[in-house]
Each structure stands twice: as C-alpha cells, then as structure tokens.
C-alpha cells in the first residue's frame, strides 16, 4: 500500500509528464498536412440516342481587292474573320472559359448600407445624449434598466437595492461602478 506522500509524488510526476508532452507537441512541428489527391476531370459521355447535326456556318467571303484607281474612294482592308467551329453536343467550345464566372452580386446596396451604418454610428458618437425617456430607478423594470445605453446588465443590481432617494445613491450604496454610473446618470431619475 502506498502512503500519502508517495501518492502525491506519483501524481506530480504524471502532471509534469503531461505538461512536458503538451510543450513538446506545441514546439515540434508536426507532419505536413496531406492534401487529398486531385481527381481527374470528369469526362462527358454522350448518349448515342441523342445526336444532333452541327449547324453549318457559311464560309467567309474572300476579301475584295481594293480599287487602286486614282480618284476612287479609299477603302481600308478589314481583316478576315475566322469562324469558330461549333462544339459537339456535350463539349465546351475551345474559346469558352474553363469555369464560367459567377454572377456578380450587386455590391452597391451593401456598400451604401455599410456607409449609412458608419454615418449613423458617427452621428451617435458626436451627438449629445440621446433624447431617451428618463427611467425612474424605483419603478422601472429590470428590462428597462438593462436597456440603458452604456449600462449593460445592471437591472437586477439596481432593483435589489431599492428604494433610492437620489440618483447618487447608485454610488453610495455600491450598486454601480463610477464608470457605469457616469454613462447612465443622465438617463435615470428618482421621483
């Protein structure tokens, strides 16, 4: 049977071993993460029952020789246009992008909304105290007291120390800290 000090020493050894193992795991780099193997591109298999003839495109007309007679209107030669061969059904045309671009969501409404929100916050910070209804400390509910701007969840503490003869008693009865009191003192009253 082990004595008390022996059990204590063994427990300390296990704790130290666990801490050392944690330190070694943090300090030594682990194996590099293995990325999953790349899948080969999916191949499109055409159904033999659905065969559509490729539409015929007209061959481009040969470019006409410019008229080189004196007094003839000058013509600029246009480069010949090359026709793109139509893709077989189920195949992507060669000039098409590999991945179609995603539709772009309208960013302007979000940007305008963010700018409007920033403007509101700036106005709130620079404006004086809000024109809020002043809350009576002796009759207000916990929810009303918790809604005070800058107060946080102070309703229960205020209700627990009722009645109040003046707003200053929030400090003298040690209900609120001075910082919280300074933020809410203009929003409360005692009637």
How high is the mean pLDDT of the chain?
73
Asked whether the predicted pLDDT for residue 17 surpasses 70, the reply is: yes
pLDDT reported for residue 22: 84
SS3 content of the chain, % helix, strand, coil (to 5): 35, 0, 60
The helix (run of H) or strand (run of E) holding residue 188 is strand 188-189
Contact 153, 118 (CB under 8 A): no
Query: How far apart are the C-alpha atoms of 169 and 161, rounded to whole Å?
Result: 10
Domain locations in the chain as residue ranges? 140-189
Model confidence band, residue 3 (pLDDT cutoffs 50, 70, 90): confident
Asked whether the predicted pLDDT for residue 177 surpasses 80, the reply is: yes
CA dihedral 115, 121, 123, 126 (to 10 degrees): -140
Contact 189, 134 (CB under 8 A): yes
pLDDT reported for residue 27: 83
DSSP assignment letter at 138: T
95: left (phi over 0), alpha (psi -120 to 50) or beta: alpha
pLDDT in tens, 61-106: 655 565 666 665 555 555 555 555 555 565 555 555 555 555 555 5
pLDDT in tens, 123-146: 655 555 555 679 999 999 999 999
Contact 158, 171 (CB under 8 A): no
Determine phi and psi for 67, rounding to 5 degrees: -80, 120
Looking up tokens 């400390």 gives 137
CA dihedral 11, 17, 19, 24 (to 10 degrees): 180
Read off the tokens for 29. Answer: 């780099």
pLDDT reported for residue 155: 92
pLDDT reported for residue 47: 53
Give the CA angle between residues 57, 60, 64 to the nearest 5°: 160
Instruction: Tell me the average pLDDT across 149-154.
Output: 88
Instruction: Tell me the average pLDDT across 97-119.
Output: 60
The helix (run of H) or strand (run of E) holding residue 189 is strand 188-189
Asked whether the predicted pLDDT for residue 42 surpasses 90, the reply is: no
């Amino acid at each position: 049977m082990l004595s008390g000090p022996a059990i204590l020493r063994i427990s300390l050894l296990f704790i130290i071993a666990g801490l050392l193992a944690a330190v070694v795991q943090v300090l030594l780099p682990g194996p590099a993460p293995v990325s999953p193997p790349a899948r080969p591109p999916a191949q499109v298999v055409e159904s033999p029952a659905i065969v559509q003839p490729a539409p015929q495109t007209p061959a481009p007309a040969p470019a006409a020789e410019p008229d080189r007679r004196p007094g003839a209107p000058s013509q600029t030669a246009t480069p010949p246009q090359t026709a793109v061969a139509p893709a077989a059904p189920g195949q992507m045309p060669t000039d098409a992008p590999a991945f179609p671009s995603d539709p772009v969501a309208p960013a302007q409404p979000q940007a305008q909304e963010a700018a409007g929100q920033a403007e509101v916050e700036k106005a709130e910070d620079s404006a004086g105290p809000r024109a809020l209804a002043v809350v009576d400390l002796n009759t207000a509910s916990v929810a009303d007291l918790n809604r005070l701007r800058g107060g946080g969840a102070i309703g229960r503490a205020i209700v627990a120390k009722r009645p109040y003869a003046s707003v200053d008693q929030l400090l003298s009865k040690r209900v609120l800290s001075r910082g919280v009191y300074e933020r809410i003192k203009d929003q409360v009253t005692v009637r």
